[in-house]
Structure 1
Amino acid sequence: MSNNENAMDVELTAEQKQAESRRILLEGKYITRNVRFLERGIAAAEVHYSHRALRTLSNLRKRLEPETIAEVIAAYTSVSNVQNVAECLRCAVEALEMKPAANPAAKQCEPEICLFFCLLTQLYLLDNGQYEKGAKLSDTLVGMLSSSPRKTVDPLVARVFFYFSRFYEVADRLSDARPALLRALQAATLANMKESKAMLLTLLLRNYLHYKLYDQAERLTAKTTFPTDAPNNLLARYLYYVGRIEAIQLNYSQAQMHLLEATRKAPSNAATAGFQQTVHKVYVIVELLMGNIPERSLFRIPTLKKPLQPYLELTQAVRIGDLNRFQEVVSQYQSKFLQDQVLILIQRLRHNVIKAGIRSISVAYSRISLRDICLKLHLDSEEDAEYIVAKAIRDGVIDATIDHQKGYVKSAEIHNVYGTSDPQHAFDRRITFCLNIYNESVKSMRYPGSDHRKELAYADEAIRRERELAQELENDDYDEDSDADDVMDEDL
């Protein structure tokens, strides 16, 4: 069987193979199937059909050709008679530089189907490097999109805005897209389009972070609310951006919480390895800024081992409190840290390196002179060492006292950690995490649609009939008993 198939492949010409692949794309499980999903979603007013249609875009975009897209547009709609959102199909055909054959029998194109075809055009233009045409088409799409009350349009609109921002980003004109995104966010909020709102929030945060507008990004997060039922991929991206903003704003505890939640929300597979690497780079720096040392197992994960190698060396320098080693690592990987946009955070770690060195010295020595501390930490003078140790004592880094006259530091006795409230706080954090997972699981449960209400109506009608029948039987029994009593009275 396989030999016959190989022989047929040899006999087919390149044009025949292209025509066969186009036929499979149109009539197979791709475009036609997705259009049917969209039509079923429109009829049932269910948004999950739109998600099923968008789920195959990753495989579909590898087979897209301008002739195929133009043929699909001509098969499902008449370009000369479209209105509203569907007018973008004309712009899509012009961007592809194709002239599909007129189809007078084609019906009016629904907004969902028209947006799906325009989305295919965006993908083709993006993958083939035609950024100017893609930006022009995206501008037309965004200008014609309106706040439709149908929730089935929401996932498609969100994808259109994503590629709209992507075209401007690759063209290095991301700031030009910001006014349109802000207007769209206002419209999506008023129309209660939750997925579009979630997408627009993440795109605006990415826009602000690209130009280091941290104050504006922080005000945006403070004045808006991210939809609780947004998809996990959007939620993970939003949490990552918020974590970066909080880290820049010195809110390390909040940043650590958001970044850790982003790593948990994002799926762990090869497709999301880049996102996991980006999040963990910032997460490691935030952990060090909080005075914590990340687990060694984190740097042994196969997808993170090589990208986090500079951060592992940085962690080792901070852990041992070696200021010279820390400066060497920063100088060696400075270009890498600049590329990852974390150098501004790493520069704050110098004080943490000194604190870690003081902590290790306090544990190792019950009493040590300020001169020795100055030599071990590579400080300039004993006055600097005295000031740093005093600040560490005030911040609670170490439990010690300074003898200023004799010039030494005396460490206090080490107390049992289980006699403090630290285990209670750790246990409380774990309980809070488990309760949050439970609450989110309850919120994410799907409930059946309104079809079961018909069955409930039939059941209520049946129960009502049974009650009426029982009441009639009781009345009949009462009448028979009354007749019998009358007969007995007559006999008496």
Structure 2
Amino acid sequence: METAWKELKKNLSVIEKVVSANQKEKLSRVFRTTSVVRQSLSAAELKRAIEEVLAEDNESRALLLTYVSLIKPDPSEDVDMNADETDPTVNDVEKDTNVHLDRSDLIEVEIYLSLLVISLLLKAQLGQESQAFTDAVRIRCGQFNRRSLDLFASRVYTYYAYAHERFGQSYAAIRPVLLVAHRTACLRSDEIGQATLLNLLLRNYLHENLYDQAYKLVSKTTFPESVSNNQFVRYLYYVGKIHAVQLDYTDSYTKLMQSIRKAPQNTAVGFRRTVYKLAIIVQLLMGEVPERSIFNQDGLKTALIPYLQLTNAVRLGNLEDFNTVLTQNADAFKADKTYTLILRLRHNVIKTGLRKTNTSYSKIRFTDICTKLALDTPQNAEFVCAKAIKDGVIDAVIDHKNGWMQSKETVDVYVTNEPQQAFHKRITFCLDVHNEAVKAMRYPPGAYKKDLESAEERLEREKQEEELAKEIEDEMDEGI
């Protein structure tokens, strides 16, 4: 396996080739291996890279070297001088010292090195320094209007927002900067910038619980779906969360499940865990019960235990168990920012309990309903039953004089439209998955040219057709 220094050299050469060939879509190759460079490259190696790559008259060179010098070396990165010569670590270090990087005056290379400096500052927990440096790099990116710089600039804004969210005093203070950057990206047709900045703005709004502003932003903007799958997955999650708070549970659940399907299945466990927590609550609010297989997935089982207990309480319609689960796991629910949505489930628990009671008893007193559902008074039980009958949750009649509720005969479900609606829902889901798969298909540029014939082939074909037509005409003349 190649060292971080050699990976860095390879990435810099790829950037040079891609920019010179004007093939910005190939820049994603650089960021696929950047994680290896970011995790293994030391501050000393990065300082050496900056000195070798950037010219002395580069206006950002001194700034990069200043911030790199603030990073204290990690003791684990020190090489044992008494180590045996056969030690592979020593050999790698000796080989790297003989590998030199080429000079470059490209702004893309400069910003790429700046991104590595930012990652080391964040890794070293240098909050104020990371905020100041990301702000300087952001301003530096704004001085250029190059499509090959768009991907690097989007990463800079991601680090900029993350540094202020984690270490800043006021996360909302950067919102005007993000709004201006998003408007500029729209005017420049910078799709990756639009996608990244829109997600950063939505995250900023949701962090401050400004759901109305976030909803207005979503309704007045268009997300470029094809530019980045990772950004599109985040966007679907944010939109699903906004719809859930806005009581639009059907659209919210659709967006959340689409986000789960599009998210990487072998990585991003934390993201999938967060989406599943919200999706479970939304599904319960819709009156449906999540499948048990959701709670048994690897990496999610422990985190979803409170939500499994909550699901069982809602499924049984036991209000007392629901209150117990809510009290025991209140801190976890508040940390997940699902506590407000879970409070709405109280009505669903009561409806489920009423539905079971209505099926089990042909006639039951309000005092017994009050005991079964753990309600305060029989009057509250009567009001709840009246609301459920009006909403169509149960089919019953209230006898206020005698103080009971009398159920009507259960109608055969197969006589109703429910089976048809269930099949329609499944068919719609399958068609949506098919349409998304078709839209997500990618073809290499110029692939259609394989099916096109060249000029020589066309002349040869036309010549053969003329000869064949002449032969047919001669045969017809001989026949006559």
- TM-score scaled by structure 2? 0.84
Deviation at 1:234, TM superposition (A): 1.4
Cα contact 1:185–1:201 (8 A) shared by 2: yes
1:127-173 Cα offsets, whole Å, 9 max, x none, are 11122222111111211223866443232222111111111111133
Per the alignment, residue 154 of structure 1 pairs with 150
Q: Which letter does structure 2 place at the counterpart of 1:63? A: S
Query: 1:175 aligned to 169, 172, 178, which one?
Result: 172
Instruction: Report the Cα distance in structure 2 between the residues aligned to 1:366 and 1:314, rounded to whole angstroms.
Output: 29
Alignment of structure 1 residues 299-314 onto 2, 5 Å: 299-314=295-310
Cα 1:142/1:464, change in 2 over 3 Å:
same
Query: 1:335 aligned to 324, 331, 334, which one?
Result: 331
Cα contact 1:88–1:118 (8 A) shared by 2: no
Cα contact 1:89–1:117 (8 A) shared by 2: no
Instruction: Report the Cα distance in structure 1 between the residues aligned to 2:415 and 2:143, rounded to whole angstroms.
Output: 60
Deviation at 1:451, TM superposition (A): 8.7
Q: Does 1:223 align with 2:220?
A: yes
1:153-194 Cα offsets, whole Å, 9 max, x none, are 232222111111111111133222212111111111111221
Identity among equivalent pairs (%):
39
Cα 1:461/1:366, change in 2 over 3 Å:
same
Q: Any unmatched runs of 5+ in structure 1?
A: 1-20, 99-104, 478-492
Per the alignment, residue 197 of structure 2 pairs with 200
Per the alignment, residue 294 of structure 1 pairs with 290
Instruction: Report the Cα distance in structure 2 between the residues aligned to 1:89 and 1:433, rounded to whole angstroms.
Output: 54
Alignment of structure 1 residues 417-432 onto 2, 5 Å: 417-432=413-428
Instruction: Report the Cα distance in structure 2 between the residues aligned to 1:361 and 1:147, rounded to whole angstroms.
Output: 69
Query: 1:95 aligned to 50, 57, 67, which one?
Result: 67
Cα contact 2:43–2:68 (8 A) shared by 1: yes
Instruction: Report the Cα distance in structure 2 between the residues aligned to 1:156 and 1:263, rounded to whole angstroms.
Output: 27
Q: Does 1:363 align with 2:371?
A: no
Query: 1:44 aligned to 17, 21, 36, which one?
Result: 21
Alignment of structure 1 residues 464-483 onto 2, 5 Å: 465-466=459-460
Number of matched pairs: 439
Deviation at 1:217, TM superposition (A): 0.9
Instruction: Report the Cα distance in structure 2 between the residues aligned to 1:294 and 1:393, rounded to whole angstroms.
Output: 25
Cα 1:385/1:471, change in 2 over 3 Å:
closer
Alignment of structure 1 residues 402-441 onto 2, 5 Å: 402-441=398-437
Instruction: Report the Cα distance in structure 1 between the residues aligned to 2:431 and 2:321, rounded to whole angstroms.
Output: 42
Cα 1:252/1:451, change in 2 over 3 Å:
closer
Per the alignment, residue 238 of structure 2 pairs with 241
Q: Does 1:187 align with 2:184?
A: yes
Q: Point out the structure with max Rg over C-alpha.
A: 1
Cα 1:107/1:411, change in 2 over 3 Å:
same
Cα 1:111/1:416, change in 2 over 3 Å:
farther
Deviation at 1:222, TM superposition (A): 0.9
Q: Does 1:280 align with 2:257?
A: no
Instruction: Report the Cα distance in structure 2 between the residues aligned to 1:395 and 1:309, rounded to whole angstroms.
Output: 32
Query: 1:389 aligned to 378, 385, 390, which one?
Result: 385
Deviation at 1:439, TM superposition (A): 2.1
1:100-145 Cα offsets, whole Å, 9 max, x none, are xxxxx96552232222111111111111112222211111121122
Q: Which letter does structure 2 place at the counterpart of 1:295? A: E
SS in 2 for 1:425: helix
Cα contact 1:198–1:226 (8 A) shared by 2: yes
Per the alignment, residue 73 of structure 2 pairs with none
Deviation at 1:358, TM superposition (A): 0.4
Alignment of structure 1 residues 7-18 onto 2, 5 Å: none
Larger mean Cα displacement after TM superposition, 423-432 or 213-222: 423-432
Deviation at 1:428, TM superposition (A): 1.9
Deviation at 1:423, TM superposition (A): 2.1
Per the alignment, residue 35 of structure 1 pairs with 12
1:396-442 Cα offsets, whole Å, 9 max, x none, are 11112222222222222222322222222222222222222222222
1:40-83 Cα offsets, whole Å, 9 max, x none, are 32233333421111011222112122222222223233141x3x
Deviation at 1:382, TM superposition (A): 2.1
Cα 1:402/1:227, change in 2 over 3 Å:
same
Cα 1:147/1:355, change in 2 over 3 Å:
farther
Q: Any unmatched runs of 5+ in structure 2?
A: 71-100, 472-480
Cα contact 2:245–2:341 (8 A) shared by 1: yes
Cα contact 2:287–2:348 (8 A) shared by 1: yes
Q: Which letter does structure 1 place at the counterpart of 2:4? A: L
Query: 2:139 aligned to 143, 162, 171, which one?
Result: 143
Per the alignment, residue 123 of structure 2 pairs with 127
Cα contact 2:55–2:61 (8 A) shared by 1: no
Instruction: Report the Cα distance in structure 1 between the residues aligned to 2:187 and 2:124, rounded to whole angstroms.
Output: 36
Instruction: Report the Cα distance in structure 1 between the residues aligned to 2:292 and 2:111, rounded to whole angstroms.
Output: 47
SS in 2 for 1:55: helix
Instruction: Report the Cα distance in structure 1 between the residues aligned to 2:461 and 2:288, rounded to whole angstroms.
Output: 70
Instruction: Report the Cα distance in structure 2 between the residues aligned to 1:375 and 1:469, rounded to whole angstroms.
Output: 94
Larger mean Cα displacement after TM superposition, 341-350 or 401-410: 401-410
Query: 2:45 aligned to 64, 68, 73, which one?
Result: 68
